[in-house]
Amino acid sequence: MLYLVRMDVRIPTGSDQKQMDEIKAREKVYSQELQRDGRWVHLWRVVGEYANYSVFDVSSNDELHQLLSALPLFPYMEIHVTPLAQHPSSIA
């Protein structure tokens, strides 16, 4: 199942920079593992924002929830999920 996911990161003002750098480093490792195994299919930055649009290919809503909630930055994110279906006019 394909899902379009928008993630907006909201790090509180005054957060410890060293701690946030460590969290961001873990986030990068985790996200790249999911990309390599094919579940995180696409990752695009939203220009001018601390946000991204991503496409995930997972077997269920529950699997997607597990992957997203395991993101190290998850406590600082606002996430919107849109399930995707094949369009009848698509030639793919």
Q: Indicate the domain borders of the chain.
A: 2-84
Sheet order of strands, 77-84 included: 40-45, 51-57, 2-9, 77-84
Quick one: pLDDT band at residue 10, thresholds 50, 70, 90? very high
- pTM of the predicted model, to two decimals? 0.93
First to last CA, the chain: 16
Domain covering 2-84 in this structure, CATH number: 3.30.70.1060
Structure confidence by residue, pLDDT tens digits, 13-47: 999 999 999 999 999 999 999 999 999 999 999 99
